[in-house]
Chains A and B, each alone.
Chain A
Amino acid sequence: MALVDLLYLCPDCGAEAMEGKGSEATCAGCGTSFATHGRGQGILVTSADQGSQVVAAHELASGIEAHDSVLKAVRQGTGGVLRRTRVLLSLAVGEGPVRHGDRILGFIEEFGPPDAGELTLTSDGLTFTSEGEELREWRLAELTALQAASSSLQLTQPGRPLASFRFRSDSTRRWESLLREAIRRVWREAGRGEVDEFQPRIRAHGS
């Protein structure tokens, strides 16, 4: 995880050319650099002409959404492949209890071994192709929950095991935004309402 997971596009010029590690990122397109500020309270943005200012992270994040052409395509329901990336897919194989003394505190999911492959987003679904050529598909209209952890996304679809995708070369935050928008569009088009909650269940206003 790094600042580039938040700033996956350049908030200044919109280029998909962010590079960096840890708390620093630079746009290879326009040269603007971003770094966490010494004593917190925002991100220090230094443009190529050396002018610098501290900007709140949420303001930068809003700027990115405005630039994101993939997000626009998702909102419009453009056909074809919208985004593709390398992931590790783990499928839940069961659930086990968490105990403390003689009490059961709750249950946790247990995952099988991860499978490396490629995840593809289209306007109506997700496809995972493993390196062994095995194909798995999820239809967006059938998903019942979507949740993000720091570097993975989990999907629930009734009758199928919980699927967890760990991103190897793309921003989890970006995929979360794309999937949320894609699910919202699919629900809207199906007349199911405006989705405003994704976990523990995908739900629309007033549903």
Chain B
Amino acid sequence: MSVLYHAVRTPVRWAFRLLTDLRVEGLHHVPSGGPFLLLPNHQSILDPLLIQSICPRKIHSMTKSTQFTQPAFRVVLAGLGAFPVRRYRVDPQTVRVLLRLLDEGQGVCVYPEGERSWDGALQPFRRGTLRVALRAGVPIIPVGISGTYDLMPRWLKRPRPGAPVSLRFGEPMCLGAIRDRSTRDRRLPEFERQLVREISRLASVPISRETRERLDAGSASPSGEGGS
């Protein structure tokens, strides 16, 4: 774990414990060694800090490229294990970096919704993220975050301390690496349904209308590869 990561992690964890009513469950599901993929819901800009401060292992987070615009932020984010994803196009470099980190036995966090929820409900998952998860063949840990929406939703600039916050790690899903693309595409709809259900349960958040419609249509469908 880098010096910067360690230096930030401890005070942030204490800040969460002091300023919120924080509950953590299922931390034992995070493997003590080897690669894994965390897939949490995304409610707030504070979510990555929460996860990184609580997880015993270093977590590399896929982060939207616009966060890296300022040179100072770029240095800090890279030091904290973040790597950029261009969301306006399929980004093969991001997929390469993600798979390389997993090959090296690291823990990686990707938010399958691709962005923070405006209203707290669970948004549709990006197919690219689900495909990479199926391809990677590492333990996939669904994570439910609740309360950070009340602490600092995307429409507020400053946090409002005091909200109860919970972070729940689900049981790892071990699906094996699915290298064949057509097999991956066949497995995608059921994997998406399972993951949406589990993350919604862990986070105790409602599933958005758009997400429900997509699941009903069974539309996690073929085509396209890439990051979210």
Contacts and interface: CB of A to CB of B under 8 A. Distances in A.
The 10 A-B residue pairs with the shortest CB-CB distance in the complex, in nearest-first order: A40-B150, A40-B163, A106-B84, A100-B78, A108-B65, A58-B119, A61-B119, A58-B121, A105-B83, A205-B219
**Which bracket fits the contact residues of B?**
35 or more
Given A57-B119, A106-B93, A206-B222, A147 B147 contact: no
B86 interface: yes
B91 interface: yes
A200 interface: yes
Given A5-B155, A106-B65, 14 more contacts: A23-B160, A40-B147, A56-B206, A58-B206, A58-B208, A60-B119, A106-B97, A107-B65, A196-B124, A199-B88, A201-B90, A203-B224, A205-B217, A205-B221
Given A6-B119, A104-B93, A36 B150 contact: yes
Contacts of A149: 64, 66
B85 to A, nearest CB: 7
7 contacts: A39-B150, A40-B149, A57-B149, A58-B120, A58-B208, A196-B213, A200-B227
A171 to B, nearest CB: 9
A207 interface: yes
Interface in A54-113: 56-58, 60-62, 95, 98-100, 104-109
Nearest to A106: B84
Interface of A: 1-3, 5-6, 22-23, 36-42, 56-58, 60-62, 95, 98-100, 104-109, 144-145, 147-150, 154-156, 162, 173, 194, 196-197, 199-201, 203, 205-207
Contacts of A61: 118-119
Contact of B162 (A5, A40, A56, A100): A40
A66 B108 CA distance: 39
B164 interface: yes
A197 B224 CA distance: 12
A39 B78 contact: no
A197 B124 contact: yes
Contacts, number: 155
A22 B89 contact: no
A196 B223 CA distance: 13
- State the main secondary structure of chain A at its contact with B: mixed
Interface in B105-119: 114-115, 118-119
Contact of A107 (B84, B149, B157): B84
Contact of A200 (B93, B120, B128, B221): B128
| Chain B CB within 10 Å, residue with most, of A42, A149, A197, A206 | A197
A38 B162 contact: yes
Contacts of B127: 197, 203
B210 to A, nearest CB: 7
A128 B156 CA distance: 28
